[in-house]
Amino acid sequence: MTDIPLAHVLILSSLLFTIGFVGVVVRKNTLFMLMSLEVMLNAVGVAFIGAGSVWQEADGQIMFMLILTLAAAEVAVGLALLIRMQRRYRTLDIDVLSKMKG
């Protein structure tokens, strides 16, 4: 088994994170924004597991489990808001949510 350098893992996770972040910023559909958030969180998970394997510790994997829990909780709240939005505006387009200005 060949070792993967830590730098590669971190670069991969930064790339994934950037993809997720760009998704959150440019997507108009709120469902896809939530999915992009998941991508961001999982990118962080990759970084944690990579770092944990370098240090030969379980800490990285435990943090990943915590992140998974967070992702589930966040999506639960997000989907609840999504349903409210669909009922109210009959659309999932984020542009309807810009009433407050100033």
Partner 1 sequence: MSTSPEITNSVILSTEMFIALSPILLLSFGIVLSLLLIAWRRSQKMIALFTQFILVITLLLTIHLLSGDILVGSGTQITTLLNVDRFSYLSFVLICISAFVVVSLSRSVLKSEVEVHDEYYLLILLVVLGAGILVVSDHFASLFLGFEVLSISLVGLVGYFREHEHAVETGFKYLILSATASSFMLLGIAFIYSQTGNLSFAVSSNVMPWSAQPLQIFNSVGILLLFSGIAFKLSLAPFHFWSPDIYQGSPTPITLLMATVSKVAMFTVLIKCCFSQNYFNNESFIEIITVVALLSMLVGNILALKQQNIKRLMAYSSIAHFGYLLIVLTVSSLQNTEFAWQGALFYLSAYLLANIAIFTVLLISEKHRDNMSGDRDIHIVDWHGMFWKNRLSAVLVIFSVLALAGIPLTMGFVGKFYLLNQAVIFKSWWLISGLVIGSGIGLAYYLPLIFALFKDEKTLENQVVDGSGVYLVTTGKQLFMFTLLISSLLFGIFPDLVSQFIYR
Residues that bind partner 1 (CB under 8 A): 3, 5-7, 9-10, 13-14, 17, 20-21, 24, 30, 33, 37, 40-41, 43-44, 47-48, 50-52, 54-57, 59-60, 62-63, 66-67, 70, 73-74, 77-78, 81, 84-85, 88-89, 94, 97-100, 102
CA distance 44 to 61: 11
CA distance 90 to 88: 6
Closer Cβ to partner 1, 2 or 98, answer by number? 98
Question: What is the chain's Cα-based Rg?
Answer: 17
DSSP-based three-state secondary structure for 102: coil
CB 88 to partner 1: min, Å: 6
Q: Locate the DSSP E strands across the chain.
A: none
CB 1 to partner 1: min, Å: 15
CB 26 to partner 1: min, Å: 13
Q: Are 69 and 56 in contact (CB under 8 A)?
A: no
CB 81 to partner 1: min, Å: 5
